[in-house]
């Protein structure tokens, strides 16, 4: 990693100092002011003309995804987050437990460093800014170099709303261009909390910065289609998730594991949804194009399936204007790169004799990449869904839903709206929830005296003594 110059180090320190001064005034301004700040940041990205401009700018400057889906993502995620935050108390007394004599007080953290990816250069910063402000914090965003211009425009819009509301613009800042790892590392060390979304190198840097950090794990979602699934319904949801924003989401399916009795019907259903199944020769050509020297090539990242096929020299496939490409796979690991995350509308398809083998295949995939994130399942009852949640190294089991739409919160499920999914210790993370406002606050506990109650030892160990004796 390059070392920051003295000037760059000083510039970051000055930003943090301004943010800290603004935050100290802001955190004690009361819930109404915190709510107003969060709403101002939300409206900055939600207003349709601004939303459209940010979506188009993101695609123009990063070359990733498509503007229509980014517009939709911004428009759904932000009101979803505001729904989650509506009426939530995030400052002062938030809970009382009379029996235990505990009073809980929500406290701000301070200055948050928000590390954000090029795949979502507006939506992810907005989500983190809103959560941080709701809890009385200031935030400094470190965008990806490609996403810098989009993030800068977003923060300009936030400042315009702040001016109307009489709020201090130093509460929301961004590292100045050119963005580099040295400046980002300096910000991480000087702030009070790091929330990191994006590459695993950024997440590791956050965890080793010396500052408390929340970082996300690698995506590589697999979905299981059981013999009881409706092939057409499952294919519609998988196709939507696989193609949304050209598969920029870490929650987009990378593999689908299909039980044998439904395998052929499911393949046909996927083809009806615009999937193109490649033969062995076509698969080899696609693999050679997508991976160079064992590394995923940026030439295929978040591009249309038709463009990827053309890049791989598959003119016949490209001429069919497919929505996504499919390759049949049997293995997993570095020698089978299609078993990993592709960040492209390309889907690996596995056949499983029965559900136990499907689980073993998913376990193998996650040993290679993606442990901790999520698994999708179509055609499962509650019992099977719970079994998957018990056996697989995942923080979420998404049942009968379009995975990338559902995992980050949806109006059709109860998960918090977020663009950052914790993957637990399986994914080398320290949390397994969707990143939400709770990660942006401290809790102080007032501890009052209560009547003493000391349990009897025999009562505590009664079950143990009955089972094995004293």
Give dist(CA 286, CA 308) in Å, integer: 8
Indicate whether 454 belongs to any domain.
Answer: no
- Identify the pLDDT of residue 177: 85
Same domain? For 192 and 256 the reply is: no
Cis peptide before 381 (omega within 30 of 0): no
Rounded CA gap, 77 and 271, in Å?
Answer: 30
In a domain, 463, yes or no: no
Tens digit of each residue's pLDDT (9 = 90 or more) over 252-304:
999 999 999 999 999 999 999 999 999 999 999 999 999 988 889 888 999 99
Q: How far apart are the first and last CA of the chain?
A: 60
pTM, whole model, 2 decimals? 0.93
> 5 falls in which pLDDT band (50, 70, 90)?
low
Q: Which of 135, 151, 191, 250 is catalytic?
A: 250
Same domain, yes or no, for 273 and 292? yes
**Domain harbouring 321, CATH code:** 3.40.309.10
Domain count along the chain: 2
Q: What is the pLDDT of residues 322-353, one digit of tens each?
A: 999 999 999 999 999 999 999 999 999 999 99
The answer for residues whose C-beta is within 8 angstroms of residue 447's C-beta and 6 or more apart is: 101, 102
CA–CA dist 391, 327 (Å, integer): 27
* Contact between residue 239 and residue 323 where contact means Cβ atoms under 8 Å apart: yes
The least confident of 105-109, 196-200, 211-215 is 196-200
Structural tokens at position 337: 């790169």
- Is the same domain home to 311 and 401? yes
Does the active-site annotation cover 250?
A: yes
Provide the phi-psi class of 246: left if phi over 0, else alpha when psi is between -120 and 50, else beta. Answer: left
Within this chain, do residues 239 and 202 fall inside the same structural domain, yes or no? no
My answer on whether 16 and 120 are in the same domain is: yes
Tell me the two tokens of residue 217: 């794990």
Sign of CA dihedral 230, 232, 237, 239: positive
- Strand segments (E) across 164-206: 172-174, 193-196
CATH number, domain of 13, equals 3.40.605.10
Looking at the fold, whether 168 and 286 belong to one and the same domain comes out as no
- Residues 11, 89 within the same domain: yes
Pairing between β-strand 397-399 and β-strand 375-378 as defined by DSSP bridges: parallel
Model confidence over 35-85: pLDDT tens digits?
A: 999 999 999 999 999 999 999 999 999 999 999 999 999 889 999 999 999
Residue 54 domain-assigned? yes
| Domain boundaries, position 393 | 221-409
Residues 230 and 121 in one domain: no
- What are residue 160's DSSP bridge partners? none
pLDDT tens digits for 369-425? 999 999 999 999 999 999 999 999 999 999 999 999 999 999 999 999 999 999 999
Say if residue 171's pLDDT is above 60.
yes
Contact 396, 370 (CB under 8 A): no
Hey, is 414 helix, strand or coil?
coil
Give the pLDDT confidence of 195-211 residue by residue, as tens digits.
Answer: 999 888 889 999 999 99
- pLDDT over 90 for what percent of the chain? 92
Q: How far is residue 326 from each of residues 219, 262, 323, 344, 351, measured CA to CA in Å?
A: 19, 17, 10, 11, 13
Over range 80-101, report the average pLDDT: 97
Residue 426 included in any domain: no
- In this structure, the answer to whether residues 311 and 400 fall within a common structural domain is yes
Q: Please, which pLDDT band fits residue 30 given cuts at 50, 70 and 90?
A: very high
Q: How confident is the model at residue 1 (pLDDT cuts 50, 70, 90)?
A: very low
pLDDT of residue 115: 95
Same domain, 38 and 147: yes
Question: Quick count: other Cβ atoms within 10 Å of Cβ 399?
Answer: 18
Residue 180 shares a structural domain with residue 225: no
């Amino acid at each position: 990693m390059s070392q920051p110059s003295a000037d760059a180090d000083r510039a970051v320190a000055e930003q943090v100092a301004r943010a800290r001064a603004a935050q100290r005034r802001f955190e004690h301004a009361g819930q109404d002011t915190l709510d107003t700040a969060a709403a101002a940041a939300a409206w900055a990205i939600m207003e349709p003309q601004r939303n459209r401009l940010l979506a188009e700018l993101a695609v123009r400057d990063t070359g990733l995804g498509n503007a229509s889906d980014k517009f939709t993502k911004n428009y759904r995620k932000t009101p979803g987050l505001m729904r989650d935050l509506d009426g939530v108390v995030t400052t002062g007394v938030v809970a009382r437990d009379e029996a235990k004599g505990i009073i809980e007080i929500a406290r701000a953290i301070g200055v948050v460093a928000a590390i954000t990816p090029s795949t979502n250069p507006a939506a992810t910063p907005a989500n983190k800014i809103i959560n941080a402000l709701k809890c009385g914090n200031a935030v400094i965003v470190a965008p990806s170099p490609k996403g810098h211009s989009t993030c800068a425009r977003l923060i300009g819009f936030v400042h315009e709303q702040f001016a109307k509301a009489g709020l201090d613009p130093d509460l929301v800042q961004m590292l100045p261009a050119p963005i580099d790892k040295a400046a980002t590392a300096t910000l991480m060390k000087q702030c009070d909390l790091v929330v990191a979304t994006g590459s695993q190198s950024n997440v590791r840097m956050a965890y080793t910065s010396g500052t408390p950090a929340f970082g996300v794990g690698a995506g590589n979602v697999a979905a299981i289609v059981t013999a009881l699934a409706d092939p057409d319904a499952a294919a519609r949801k998988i196709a939507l998730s696989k193609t949304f924003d050209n598969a920029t989401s870490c929650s987009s399916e990378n593999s689908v594991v299909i039980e044998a009795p439904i395998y052929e019907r499911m393949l046909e259903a996927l083809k009806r949804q615009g999937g193109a199944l490649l033969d062995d020769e076509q698969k080899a050509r696609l693999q050679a194009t997508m991976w160079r020297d064992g590394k995923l090539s940026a030439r295929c990242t978040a591009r249309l399936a038709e463009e990827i096929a053309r890049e791989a020299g598959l003119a016949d496939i490209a001429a069919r204007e497919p929505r996504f490409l499919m390759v049949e796979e049997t293995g997993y690991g570095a020698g089978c790169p299609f078993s990993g995350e592709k960040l492209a509308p390309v889907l690996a398809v596995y056949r499983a004799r029965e559900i136990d083998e499907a689980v073993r295949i998913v376990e193998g995939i996650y040993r290679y990449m993606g442990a901790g994130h999520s698994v999708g399942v179509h055609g499962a009852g509650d019992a099977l869904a719970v079994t998957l949640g018990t056996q697989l190294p995942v923080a979420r089991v998404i049942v009968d839903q379009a995975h990338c739409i559902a995992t980050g919160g949806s109006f059709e499920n109860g998960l918090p709206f977020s663009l950052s999914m914790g993957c637990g210790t399986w994914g080398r993370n320290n949390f397994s929830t969707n990143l939400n406002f709770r990660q942006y606050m401290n809790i102080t506990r007032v501890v009052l005296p209560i009547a003493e109650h000391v349990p009897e030892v025999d009562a505590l160990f009664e079950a143990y003594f009955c089972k094995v004796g004293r």
